[in-house]
Structure 1
Amino acid sequence: MQYFNSNTMLYLNGRFEKAAATTTTLYGASLHYGYAVFEGIRAYNTHNGTRIFKAREHFERLKRSAELVHMPFPWDVNDLIKQTYKLLELNNLKDAYIRPLIYCAPNMQLVAAKDVSIMICAWEWEAYLGNEQLQVCISGYERPNPKSTPIQAKVSGNYVNSILATTEAKAKGFDEALLLDGEGNIAEAPGANIFIEKNGRLYTPPLGNILAGITRATVIELCHVLDIEIIEKHLSVTDLKHADSAFFCGTATEIAGIRSVEEYAFPIKWSESIGATLQRTYKCLVLEKQNYEVII
């Protein structure tokens, strides 16, 4: 996939520059040790114009991620939102995926960053896992121990774990992986949270060993609005393989239905599942087809 061309602009430390003309250091902890934090954000072409969905929540999480790994964050969130809208305008993007990244100045020592840069880029990107129901396997890799790294932060180095899990799944002929935590409970997909449906209720793993997904939080909000019972609890693989339906959710993924987990095929048709209802409702929300902001 081509993410930029000779005309693409990105935002770098307060300036807009041609992506093809920018450079970065080869001597930084971000490259050598994965010491960087990032966000994934989506903008949608709504009838009210281009809107970045939950921009403030994403940039506040970026700030929190930086704080959790002891990186400076000298930027104003309001200004970053403003500059991101300008970036979309400069690139003539209306539907876009947006990637802010905070990375380190040259430093090979294993110490907290003192000098950092921020880059924001954007490109057109369809739903990350596609629009078809997914065949999923249980990964041989576990989510990192939350005492070893701040799981609630979007740290670049943490995503080596995600790359390994997805690569393993695809090598086995599956669309995506599902990782467990160190206790054998369901955690999340390499880049998305999971919900399962059983007897008209939704269940999802609690925070602690998973990323506190913004889309996950939105799904929970929508459940409250739609009077869908939602329960956060530890879930086993047995719970999953006795469920009626399941789906992944995330900013890049949006909401993606799961057809099967290894040999177990979910018995409820996706079109008749709670996940499908939430998928339609979520799309209405991000496209501002209904005024959910009044009630959420």
Structure 2
Amino acid sequence: MTGPVVTGVDGQACGTDALRLGRWLADSLGGPLIVAVVHAAPAALGSGRVDAEWVADRHRAAEAVLNGARESLKDAPGEAEYRAVASTSAAHGLHDLAEEVDASIIVVGSKLSGAKNRLFAGSTAERLLAGSQWPIAVAPQEMTASPGDHGRVGVAYVDTPDGRAALEEGAEIARRIGASLRLYTVVADQDSTLPFLVGADAEHAFLETARETYEESLRRAAATVSGVEVDWRLLTGNVVDALTELDEVDVLCCGSRGYGPARRVLLGGVSTRLLRGARSPIIVVPRSG
């Protein structure tokens, strides 16, 4: 995880949040920061001069956004490289850049139509997350806490290949920044588990068994982590609601989903909904293998 941290900005307010998160991740992971703006590439079929003039205008606009990013980071420690990338879309451009520089992670901001201090993934984030081979970090709008304030990295953990990939990523980040690591698993509450016809006694027994199974899974997972202080929490309730309300971690690492190509992010139900309302920055981790 020593490759560059590629941070995409587009001149909107959410880009400031992405810059804050990207700067912190670059400093924490010990890699360079690359700030990128993607602008339109020349069309394969264009009208020559008109197309060239339009592309030149888009390039000038991209440089203006980069100048704004420089201004935002002028007082921040550490160096940054600024790139204007020509591509057919922001997601493709950031993917291509990440591949070119062998990035460790791609960082973007949230869509502006979500609630303040919450994630609400826009089209660029969602397209990046559709098959990325790199972890994708998404910053909430108008983050109230600065990255690093909590000194804790969170992992949404289940004992699956995706959950173990998230644990590996979270543990590595925690080690590099000297933070503690906290694992979270959510067990459903009594009202949302089994149909009422099953009976209260059977439902209670089911919940107790599930809780014991999850607790043992968390203990085993925590025991595999070395070089960092680690603990775990078993939360009760709706899994998405419980995880989106977390505001005690600097970032929350989660897997994508339990199927699909190896080493690719392919969003599942939980990870998709987390990106619609989380209070903390989210890092969605590709499947290992």
Q: Could you tell me the TM-score, scaled by structure 2's length?
A: 0.28
The structure where strand makes up a greater share of residues is 1
TM-score, normalised to structure 1, is: 0.27
